[in-house]
Chain A
Amino acid sequence: MAACVDQELLLGGLVDSELDAANVAMVEAHVARCEACREELERLQAVRNLLRSDGVRHSTPETLNRRIAAVPELAAPRASNDNRLVRWLGPGIVGALAASLAMVAFLPPGANSIVDQEIVSSHVRSLQPGHLTDVQTTNQHIVKPWFNGKIDFSPPVPELADAGFPLAGGRLDSLDGKTVAAIVYHRRLHTVNLYVWPAKDGVERSFVKDGFAVSEWSRNGLRYAAVSDIPAAEVRQFETLFVKRSG
């Protein structure tokens, strides 16, 4: 039995969570009535489950990792690569670089810029496999108590799924040497990390760094920083919602 022709793309959109609320309601209503489309939906889900089985995705072979690391430009900028970099740059440039950088050392770094960079780096790190959440659940009543005893403040964990930001879980992280709570929400297939830590009230600000949108705000003695690769407007929308729902 074939699915209804006019529903085919919508069924895919439903499986991919790419439909807006109105279309989701429409397709779900149709699927409830139409057996063929219900079966088609099950098939789509079955294919997806097979494709997403562990091991289907190819992982980078060690040979390629080594090849990438052997390219001077691509080698990780860490101390262990000093020799290679020094050879690569040549002694003359090294001297010039060191001299110019020595001046930078006397400029006091902006406190903000360090934390800004850390927020973005921490977000990127959290997206590595297995790093995102320590407690993985869509239930706010599990996330909130999980933080108890691990940190000496209690961040609000409102439910935002109906507004398109389902809760994914939480973890402990550190920013600028302080332990912070990280509450993780999803936005479609993207991740929003919300960092929370106790701090004096600061200004509300939004900025984009390295392509990541960040919104920061303060409330009741806690500082919040939301970061994601979704559009900046959606991060601000997240902020508004979060503030409203956390009362």
Chain B
Amino acid sequence: MSIKQNFTADAVPDFRNLGVVARTLIGVNALAFAAALAAVPDWGAALERFVLVAARLEPALALTLAVLYALAPALGRLRYWQGGAAVVALALALSALLHVASAAPGEAATGLLRTLALAAIAALLLLAYLRLLTRAYSPALAEARLQALQSRIRPHFLFNSLNAVLSLIRRDPRRAERALEDLADLFRVLMQDNRKFVPLDDEIALLERYVNLEQLRLGERLSVVWELADAPRDALMPPMVLQPLLENAIYHGVEPATDAGRVVVHIARRGARVLARIDNPHIPEQANRAGNRMALDNVRERLQLFFDAEARIETRVAHGRYVVEMEMPYRSAHA
């Protein structure tokens, strides 16, 4: 099963999954037994009755599961309500088929409506139960998604930086050392578990290391203006949410330009919220540059997983500059 399918929480359960098949078998039989138990007074009679019921139930159940198994990939592609409707319809159709087929020749198939009602109830209950199970596991899904979203620096940045360091080793060994230290710090954060919040202070230090490295490559073509006077340095935030935005600003706003470009990093506290704004020269022809919106979507999705609707991130073009603005709740590391 592909990862993608794992993540589509909004689809019917995968009927090729052993757990789902087993739960369905046990669940439907338990339902039948409970019904038998409720209908007659003592255990013995109930058991007898269950055996009778099972003789009609099992073939229908087995057939339905077999067909669901065969159709599982197609069902997985449907929206939940479509898939659910398909499952119920299948259960109904197959039960009806078996009901009619098992009726004695010449005898009218009586009680068809009752069979259908029972099949529908069983199918709906099972679907609801499996739905609840998926919901219960969804935090794990979110966790997995967070890990998959762990921010990634563009590979070309790493190789360009290494190349720049190589060029420094003979001319300016000390600067080469500093650059490698910056690179090490950056990658330490990149590779660590990015699900724990960090103080803004750490994030700013990281941005500075990152800019040092970019400066090494781009020299005077890059100037970064830091507006951090009102930055709440104790604010907690998910790590590596600002760096991808700064990287984007340089990748799209400075690197493609022949002239020098200025990037402004503004971070401030606004009441109970932290505001971060990064803006860079807007270069319209940049739409076709690789990975245009990926970093932004990645940060947006991580913010949403961490803060749900409490964070927002917006982009706009104003006065020839491309602006990314991000807002999240302020939470102090000292609280």
**A, B in one complex:** no
Q: Which residues of B contact A (CB under 8 A)?
A: none
